[in-house]
Structure 1
């Protein structure tokens, strides 16, 4: 499992942090595991239970740090639970559900960090994802966090593998 370069480059932002970091839509958990290995308290959240169970069984992640959640449900119960947390940070890679942005922003405490990377509309030239629901518009990610301190921003094409992405590292005022 490969850790996202964006996280590797900005991992130091969490090292002096006091509090939990949420790996949202964590999948196999490789990014959250990199944080945990650096001594950072991580909560792994995903809709799929099997990868969370694997994190517990194969990496000894405590069950209290695993959150099986459906952030896209009609009722939105997990979204509102997210908003009630007080997190040092949130990391999100290759996932987009626009209604979550305000909940993420509410969950992060002042001085906390968000690292977010996902696909843009330019990704259609490379294949999937290619539906508007899963693709950011030009400058959309920057606009969502316009009231935060933007520490790093990139939007464009990356290679190996080819993909069109937007990346942001930002700090809550």
Structure 2
């Protein structure tokens, strides 16, 4: 995350999807971004209002993204970045590009097949197939970086990482370069 965080529009809103303990909510809030954090339970981020003095507290939304409940955000809400880590719910893939403003970044990292050698998750339902993240997202967004393989930090695991950008809004050509 820290590698791609500087690419996010300065001061742009960030969505931390399935935020867990709020590691990335804290990172982006500390960089001056308004952050919306969504998770099934907010126990891991309950302390954030007290730990970020002088900055607006993150918007915390408790929602189960897998139980069929309505999407917890307005349909027109867009973000400068959407961050997803250590979470895989494949039905969300089609929604992710639509959450980004023009030029917005999707930063996604989760476990892939082979991780069962090192621990959990080990169920195939929670492990990406080789190249799956690139295949699912690469058709909809411009891929800036894609990696897959074994990592040693914060613990040994097999992961896929992707950073992709939503196409910026098309800009009109100057009159002398217009076609036709």
- Shared fold per TM-score greater than 0.5: yes
2:83 alignment partner, one of 83, 91, 101: 91
Kindly indicate whether the alpha-carbon contact (under 8 Å) linking 2:25 and 2:58 is maintained by their aligned counterparts in 1: no
Following the alignment from structure 2 to structure 1, what is the Cα–Cα distance between the partners of residues 86 and 99?
A: 20
Alignment: residue pair count:
164
Equivalent in the alignment of 1:34: 27
Could you tell me how far apart the structure 1 residues matched to 2:88 and 2:74 are? 16
Map of 1:77 onto structure 2:
70
* TM-score between the two structures when normalised by the length of structure 1: 0.86
Aligned to 1:53, which of 30, 42, 46? Answer: 46
Distance in 2 between the 1:123 and 1:109 partners? 33
Root-mean-square deviation (Å): 1.9
Q: Post-superposition shift, 1:42?
A: 1.0
The structure with the greater share of residues assigned to helix is 1
Q: How do 1:4-43 and structure 2 match up within 5 A? A: 7-14=1-8, 16-17=9-10, 19-43=12-36
Structure-1 residue corresponding to 2:171:
none
Question: Gaps spanning 5+ residues in structure 2: where?
Answer: 168-180
Secondary structure class of the residue paired with 1:96: coil
- Given that 1:117 and 1:168 are in contact with CA atoms closer than 8 Å, whether structure 2 keeps it comes out as yes
Rg: which structure is higher?
2
TM-score normalised by length of structure 2: 0.83
Pick aligned residue for 1:126 from 107, 115, 118? 118
2:174 is aligned to none
Cα drift, residue 19 of structure 1:
3.1
CA positional deviation for 1:52: 3.2
In structure 2, the partner of 1:150 is 143
Residue 106 of structure 1 corresponds to which residue in structure 2? 98
Moved over 6 A (4+): none
Q: 2:107 is matched with which residue: 83, 102, 115? A: 115
Stretches of structure 1 that go unaligned for 5 or more consecutive residues are 1-6
Which of the numbers 15, 34, 44 marks the counterpart of 2:37?
44
Distance 2:102 2:119 in 1: 38
Distance 1:73 1:63 in 2: 27
Q: Which residue of 1 aligns with 2:157?
A: 163
